[in-house]
Amino acid sequence: MKLAAALDVPRQRPDWLRLKLPSFIALLVLWQVSAVLIADPVLFPTPWATLETGTRHLMSGDLLFSLAVTLARVIVAFGFAMVIGSAIGIALGRSQPADAIFGGWLSIALNMPALVTIVLCYVWFGLTETAAILAVTINKAPTVAAIMREGARALDRQLLETTQVFGVSRWKVLRHVVLPQLAPSFIASARAGLALTWKIVLVVELLGRPNGIGFQIRTFFNTFDIASILAYSLAFIAIVLAIEAFIMQPIERRTGRWRSA
């Protein structure tokens, strides 16, 4: 009976999907009820008040500007982190000596608090854009490297041997044999990375940039403007979820297509 139920799970998926909207509405209701109970519109604004505040910021243009600035930082730092982290991860995954020597460094980097990297980058390189991007990249790249290392370790030895015997060029092996095998790790690290990156970017902006969502949140913190803080955060969450749904997931489906063909 249990087994049959377990086997039925895929067919029940549409039912679960239908629960998504009620679940989201339940969260809004919970928020509304809490706000009414707390009864302090400054400390805990209602969803409606937050929406009104967000709309006001949207109309004035400062929300869009901050979103654009922060998103640009996220994209640049994310790009650097993916490229550098992948290169390090693949190198460590493919070379046992390299992993033996530098694997420990990676463990240290993975456990370095983001705040420390950010503060050090600002102290060493000044309150500059370069320091900000560098700090985010240094925080994010080790996570990418760790995931890519696992992917590179699991490369199909038999296929690599085969291309070696036939003398296939390095570029062709990379393009047609290695990268397709690394794609799942790459996507996994990209998804894990996107959420992490924007959170760190906010801290970087809060501590040392004159614009962006993080900077605005600090400003609102100084003026005790909770509704604006929530409105800015929710706007950015919406954008990150949109990137996830319309960019990450389609790419993931594309790379996995051969499995189900």
Nearer to other proteins, 23 or 158 (CB): 158
The radius of gyration computed from the CA coordinates of the chain, to the nearest angstrom, equals: 23
Nearer to other proteins, 55 or 162 (CB): 162
Nearer to other proteins, 84 or 159 (CB): 159
Nearer to other proteins, 3 or 165 (CB): 165
Q: What are phi and psi of 8, to 5 degrees?
A: -80, -10
Determine if 176 is a binding residue for other proteins (CB under 8 A). yes
In the complex, the smallest distance separating the C-beta of residue 155 from other proteins, rounded to whole angstroms, is 12
Determine if 97 is a binding residue for other proteins (CB under 8 A). no
HSE-up (13 A, CA, CB side) for residue 131: 19
Region binding other proteins by CB under 8 A among candidate stretches 140-148, 176-184, 187-195, 200-208 = 176-184
Length of the chain: 261
Among residues 91, 168, 188, 192, which is the contact residue for other proteins, using CB under 8 A? 168
Determine if 130 is a binding residue for other proteins (CB under 8 A). no
Is residue 231 packed enough to be buried (19+ CB in 10 Å), middle (13-18) or exposed (0-12)? buried
Contact 243, 193 (CB under 8 A): no
Nearer to other proteins, 129 or 161 (CB): 161
Determine if 253 is a binding residue for other proteins (CB under 8 A). no
Chain-centroid distance, C-alpha 249? 13
Of 186, 221, 236, give the one whose Cα is nearest residue 86. Answer: 186
Nearer to other proteins, 60 or 95 (CB): 95
Of 70, 65, 31, give the one whose Cα is nearest residue 50. Answer: 31
In the complex, the smallest distance separating the C-beta of residue 97 from other proteins, rounded to whole angstroms, is 16
C-alpha–C-alpha distance, residues 100 and 44, integer Å: 52
Determine if 171 is a binding residue for other proteins (CB under 8 A). no
# binding residues, other proteins (CB under 8 A): 16
Strands, E, within 19-129: which ranges? none
Question: Which residues are near other proteins by CB under 8 A?
Answer: 158-159, 161-168, 172, 176-177, 180, 258, 261
